[in-house]
Structure 1
Amino acid sequence: MAGPITVGFDGSPQSLAAARWAAREAELRGARLELVQAWPWAAPHLLAADDAVAEGRRWLNHAETELRAMLPEVEVTGTQIPATAVDTLLEASGRASMVVLGSRGLGMLRGFLVGSVSQHVLARASCPVVLVRARDEPADRTADEAADKTPDGTPDEPAERTAEVVLGLDLDRPGDEVLGFAFEAAALRGMPLRVIHCWRPPTGDEYRSFTAIAGMDEELTAGEQQRLADAIAPWREKYPDLEVSPALLRGSAAATLVEAAGRPDLLVVGRRSRRGALGSRLGPVAHAAVHHVHSPVAVVPHG
């Protein structure tokens, strides 16, 4: 990937956590890190606009200084752009290798508090978008503990982080972009890759005997296992030293993936880039992942 890693930065703890995560990713990939701050109140005649812009510039300067001290090898730039955040980030996604956004944490339903900007960018960006929850950044753990509560007020503790990359793969539309991103991410981290495909066998004819249904079930399962093996085989050849564990799981793709993923170093899912009648949107699996998985989630567009 030749483009920069771009972070949507607004000075909040979650955007700073996203910037720290992105800086480490930029170091792994040898990429430039770009902090982008967009102002929806960009019209110069608005009250206190100059003060707001100046304050935003101070936030950017502080973040740039911290990130350069943390990772001196990474080139860091910060830019203010007088446009809406959605327009700015979507434009940036056309030249970036990755866009990274912050999320506020887990809410009352134990799901991500994904703002409207993130939802628009996740659904329409031209490049992979990674959503980082503030609590995924150790330095921000205390600041965000209040956001991570169950409905009765007790801490919603995630499972312990596992040193692996997990890919949720749709075998009907696997996408080389999705597979390539996941394999590369695991290889760069020196971590194993777990590839999960969730499926449901078709309902058997109620008039078939149980023995026939059992035999058909075994045949269908073997067929899905072979499809999964075939999908990842070219990438295993490309990354021969990477430990890859394919997993075929039964159940609803969204719910099963969220439960099975646990808390990996990174979860990768795909998003079809084709626009539907209602415009671009996240599919149910990507939607569930970004709202309910504790780890950073990469949503990779593909044809």
Structure 2
Amino acid sequence: MTAGVDGSSESRAAGRWAAREATLRHVPLRLVHAVDWPLDPVFPSLGRQDVDRWADRALTDATQELRIRHPRLEITTRCLSARPAAALAAEATEAALLILGSRGLSRLAGFLVGSVAMSTLVATDTPVVLVRVSDDPGSGSGSGSGVIVGVDIHESCDPVLAFAFEEDDRRACALRAVHGWRMPPAYTYVPFYDPDNERDIDRSVTNMLEDVLLPWRRKFPDVNVSHSVFAGSAGDHLVQASRGAGLVVVGRHVRRSVLGTHVGSVAHAVLHHAAAPVAVVAHE
């Protein structure tokens, strides 16, 4: 397991979350700091030795804090001279999970996803968790309970469901699967519009979601899973559900082309506005 560290409060929150996760998984934790040298011209007074000392201090401080909290956890560090997004994406290939920090705007506003975090996210197929700074600095981030997972019933999203069920099984908490659907915009204007049709669609979508979840219920019989289907924006509903949750899990399509977006609208909304850590799981 790997966490990005840069000395900021956001990365310290990510480190605390990563240490708890590594303890749950019984795996070692690697803390990575990447420096893009030479630095931006706005820092002309900083020499290479100054940067190296600062990087070493960031890693040392993070390691010492986490070893106090988790004395049995094996922690290693690595300092790289490379563009942070590229370095973190490369490190992620050797990890089961990459954890990064995001700036918390407020309890309601949620994340401000920086360019490094977003660039890293789309450059790796490894699941990435973005962690905001907790309102309580002493408790770390993601102290809520329960796992929320966004489910696409129209496409295979097995990696997303596998991650959510496995994570919930480790935490022994409630799992809630969420799916949103929309009526075609023009449908409400046709003369033969019948509100009963909307209820029929809702029942049909609910049945489809239950079918998607059934094999995972059987594979993880100890997971307490519920589900909800609603008409409207899936992103908005997941953001609302994130309040009080311990983790929100969303998927993103793996896109090999350099053109077009690499994060869908639902994942984008959740990344920028969720009030809980967000795990983004790539899938075909």
Q: Tell me, yes or no, whether TM beats 0.5.
A: yes
Distance 1:161 1:95, change over 3 A: closer
Seen in structure 2, the aligned counterparts of structure 1 residues 134 and 162 have a Cα distance that, compared at 3 Å, is closer
Paired amino acid for 1:104: R
Between 1:101-110 and 1:78-87, the stretch displaced more is 101-110
CA gap 1:25/1:52 in 2 versus in 1, 3 angstroms? same
Correspondence for 2:147: 165
CA drift of 1:73 comes to 2.2
CA distance in 2, matches of 1:124, 1:40: 17
Query: Between Structure 1 and Structure 2, how many residues are aligned?
Result: 277
Aligned match of 2:248 in 261, 267, 272? Answer: 267
SS of alignment partner, residue 138 of structure 2: helix
Contact 1:129-1:298 at 8 Å conserved across structures: yes
Instruction: State the 1:240 CA deviation.
Output: 0.4
Q: Does 1:28 align with 2:24?
A: yes
Tell whether 2:268 aligns with 1:287.
Answer: yes
Cα 1:76–1:162 shift into 2, 3 Å: closer
Contact 1:273 1:280 in 2 (8 A): no
The question of 1:207 aligning with 2:191 is answered yes
1:14 aligns with 2:13: no
Aligned to 1:129: 128
Residue number among 189, 194, 197 corresponding to 1:216 in the alignment: 197
Aligned equivalents of 1:221, 1:140: Cα separation in 2: 40
1-side partners of 2:12 and 2:67: how far apart? 13
What residue identity is the alignment partner of 1:286?
A: A
Letter aligned with residue 20 of structure 1: R
In structure 2, what is the equivalent of residue 40 of structure 1?
Answer: 36
Percentage of matched positions with identical amino acids: 41
Distance of 2:271 and 2:171 partners within structure 1: 21
Q: 1:107 to 1:63 in 2, by over 3 A?
A: same
Instruction: Rate the CA distance shift 1:122–1:130 in 2: closer, same or farther, 3 A.
Output: same
Structure 1 residue 256 displacement after superposition: 2.6
Given that 1:13 and 1:140 are in contact with CA atoms closer than 8 Å, whether structure 2 keeps it comes out as no
TM-score, structure 2 as length reference: 0.90
Give 5+ residue unaligned stretches, structure 1: 145-159
Deviation at 1:234, TM superposition (A): 0.7
For the aligned residue pairs, the C-alpha RMSD in angstroms reads 2.4
Deviation of 1:219 (Å): 2.6
TM-score, structure 1 as length reference: 0.84
Give me the whole-angstrom Cα distance separating, in 2, the residues matched to 1:131 and 1:99.
Answer: 9
CA distance in 2, matches of 1:114, 1:302: 21
Kindly report which structure 2 residues correspond to 1:223-302, keeping only aligned pairs within 5 A, or say none.
Answer: 223-276=204-257, 278-279=259-260, 281-302=262-283
What are the ranges of 5 or more consecutive residues in structure 2 without an aligned counterpart? none
User: Which residue pairs with 1:117 in the alignment?
Assistant: 116
**1:229-260 CA deviation, whole Å, 9 max, x = no partner?**
01111110011011100100110222232223
Q: 1:30 to 1:161 in 2, by over 3 A?
A: closer
Deviation at 1:220, TM superposition (A): 1.6
Q: CA deviation at 1:32?
A: 1.3
What is the letter of the counterpart of residue 11 of structure 1?
G
